[in-house]
Chains A and B, each alone.
Chain A
Amino acid sequence: MKLLVCVSKTPETTAKISFSGDNTQFNEAGVQFIMNPYDEWYALVRALELKEKAGGSVTILNVGPAANDTVIRKGLAIGADNAVRIDAEPKSSLFVAKQIAAHAKEEGYDMVFLGKETIDYNGSEVGGMVAELLGQPYISFATAMEVNGSTATVTREIEGGVEVAEVDTPFVISASKGLAEQRIPNMRGIMMAKRKPLKVVAATDATDLAVVASYELPPAKSAVKLIDPENMTELVRLLSEEAKVI
């Protein structure tokens, strides 16, 4: 089975968020970057498990500058066979999706994996875009997947529960928590990753149709109002009269 896993580079979850250039740019100074957890922990690992069971290959794809190579190498250390980096600054979701789709069209993958969202822009858009550009089904927010031949049985999150669906390859799938268990790269993997192929290719022409014009930080939270634990009637009064939420 020929599998593609799309990975993003994101600030780590506890990074301090600030902006520069008159609030038009994310301030990267002092920020540590990681592979987007949904891509790494769930999408990549489930793809590797499928390959280990049924054979085939796992390719990692990233759209980004050379600085992203560390994140890509980590994916190779975890077990992907090879990697492709499309050399472009990813500024909008449709731009990124068009790069992924152009590569996937050429290669013809059985499954394209992505995390359910990136933890920086939280858009959840690219998976659906890639599926549409490839004309393939899209299974979003998958928490479990079993594959039998070319048919996958997938459990996906819906409002207040889950749905179990069957779909034949090729398709695009986005990974939620539960699809697989995080793997930590070992020494051998890290050494081998250095020798695995990482191909850098030029970007396909595409325009950014929606871009961030400016950022702002949420209004500072006013200090917490402490309520006497013996006086819950007062808390109820505040929730009703001041906060007006009950």
Chain B
Amino acid sequence: MVLVYAESPKGKFKKSAFEAVTYGHKTAQVLGTQCVALTLGDTENAGQLGKYGAAKVVSVGDAALNNFDSQVHAAVIADAAKAVGASVIVVSHSSSGKALLGRLAARMDAGSVSAAKAVPTNDGAFKVKTNVFSGKAIAEYQINSANKVLSLMGNAIQPEEVGGDVAVEAISVAVPASRVTIKEVKTVEGTVPLPEAELVVSAGRGMKGPENWGIIEDLAATLGATTACSRPVADTGWRPHHEHVGQTGVAVRPNLYIAAGISGAIQHLAGVNSSKVIVVINKDPEAPFFKAADYGVVGDLFDVVPALNEALKAYKATS
């Protein structure tokens, strides 16, 4: 049995949870077994996970689980796996999923793969691919243990509807007391967080100053994209640190990454090279970023970005 932990922050599933269930369903097919989804804490409409291939949903509704603590969550997930007879566990490669992955692997003495990017194969050996060297290479891992834990890279596969809602069964699992007290949560509301964003508009030092960011925000608004920036821009305080994309910042994997006025240092590329399509706007035709780009525009971003925004508005008006 494959058990998928479907995260429900503030009671709601995000797209990453549906991706994880789709992935769990496909993994179960490879192994010739079934996929069960697990929800923890308050969850709205958990039965919908059936649409993405969960044969059933089990839930531990204890409100203490609304606050994330990897120690508590890992204990509950491992016990739930035992209760449903699952030997393979799938979590999202989110901030919580990354903390859970290691804990679950250690707890279950399981081989694990972090940020899996493709459905496993099982021709004599169980193998899963993931990016390594900050996206500069791909490694295929082989897991030799009976228990296996995988975290699924965001946007690696798309949710697929294969069925309808299923029954939700409450299961009884002991919830240990947490030793971590959450004092405060500060999140930016209204925009999709960068690690999950499918469309990103990013800008760098070519912007000349923070007062010029209006054209980037306008373009992002037209697209419904999340804004991002390069490291020097965050370091000089032009933009907040959570927008910094790169080796030491956030790694993004959107469908579309538009970079304006970013030269494309190797450390920046390490954060964006999982993007499906990259558009680079730079007045310097020698900017290294063009080598990593699918589409390039050599020109002054102060002309090109507003022109692109107008062209997009015209496109949106007719489609």
Chain A residues within 8 Å of B186, by CB:
161-164
| Cβ contact of A141, chosen from B95, B114, B127, B276, cutoff 8 A | B95
Judge whether A121 and B310 touch: CB under 8 Å. no
Cβ of B63 within 8 Å of any chain A Cβ, yes or no, is no
CA distance A213 to B141 in the complex (A): 5
Judge whether B181 and A167 touch: CB under 8 Å. yes
Judge whether B143 and A153 touch: CB under 8 Å. no
Judge whether A94 and B106 touch: CB under 8 Å. yes
Within B199-246, the residues touching A (CB, 8 Å) are: 199, 223, 241-242, 244
Chain A residues within 8 Å of B179, by CB:
137, 167-168, 171
Known contacts A233-B311, A243-B256; is A124 also within 8 Å of B98 by CB? yes
Judge whether B311 and A236 touch: CB under 8 Å. yes
Judge whether B103 and A213 touch: CB under 8 Å. no
Q: Is the interface of A mostly helix, strand, loop or mixed?
A: mixed
Chain A residues within 8 Å of B187, by CB:
158-162
Judge whether B310 and A14 touch: CB under 8 Å. no
* Interface residue count on the A side (C-beta < 8 Å): 79
A37 CB to nearest chain B CB (Å): 7
Look across to chain B and name the residue whose beta carbon is closest to the beta carbon of A160: B193
| Cβ contact of A129, chosen from B106, B134, B142, B273, cutoff 8 A | B106
Judge whether B297 and A235 touch: CB under 8 Å. yes
CA distance A159 to B192 in the complex (A): 9
Chain A residues within 8 Å of B304, by CB:
229, 232
A235 CB to nearest chain B CB (Å): 6
Cβ of A126 within 8 Å of any chain B Cβ, yes or no, is yes
Sample 30 A-B pairs with CB under 8 A, ordered by A number.
A13-B134, A13-B270, A17-B133, A17-B136, A19-B137, A93-B102, A125-B112, A140-B95, A140-B98, A157-B95, A159-B195, A160-B192, A161-B185, A162-B185, A163-B186, A166-B180, A166-B181, A167-B180, A167-B181, A168-B179, A171-B179, A209-B110, A209-B145, A218-B136, A221-B292, A229-B299, A233-B314, A235-B311, A239-B295, A246-B315
Other than the known A161-B185, A229-B303, what 10 A-B pairs have Cβ atoms closer than 8 Å?
A: A13-B270, A131-B103, A157-B242, A159-B95, A160-B196, A164-B182, A209-B110, A211-B142, A212-B132, A235-B295
Contacts from A to B (Cβ < 8 Å): 11, 13-14, 17, 19, 37-38, 92-94, 97, 119-133, 136-141, 153, 156-168, 171, 177-178, 208-218, 221-222, 224-227, 229-230, 232-233, 235-240, 243, 245-246
Contacts from B to A (Cβ < 8 Å): 9, 69-71, 74, 94-96, 98-107, 109-115, 125, 127, 131-145, 179-188, 191-196, 199, 223, 241-242, 244, 247-249, 255-256, 266-267, 270, 273, 276-277, 279-280, 290-300, 303-304, 307-308, 310-312, 314-315, 319
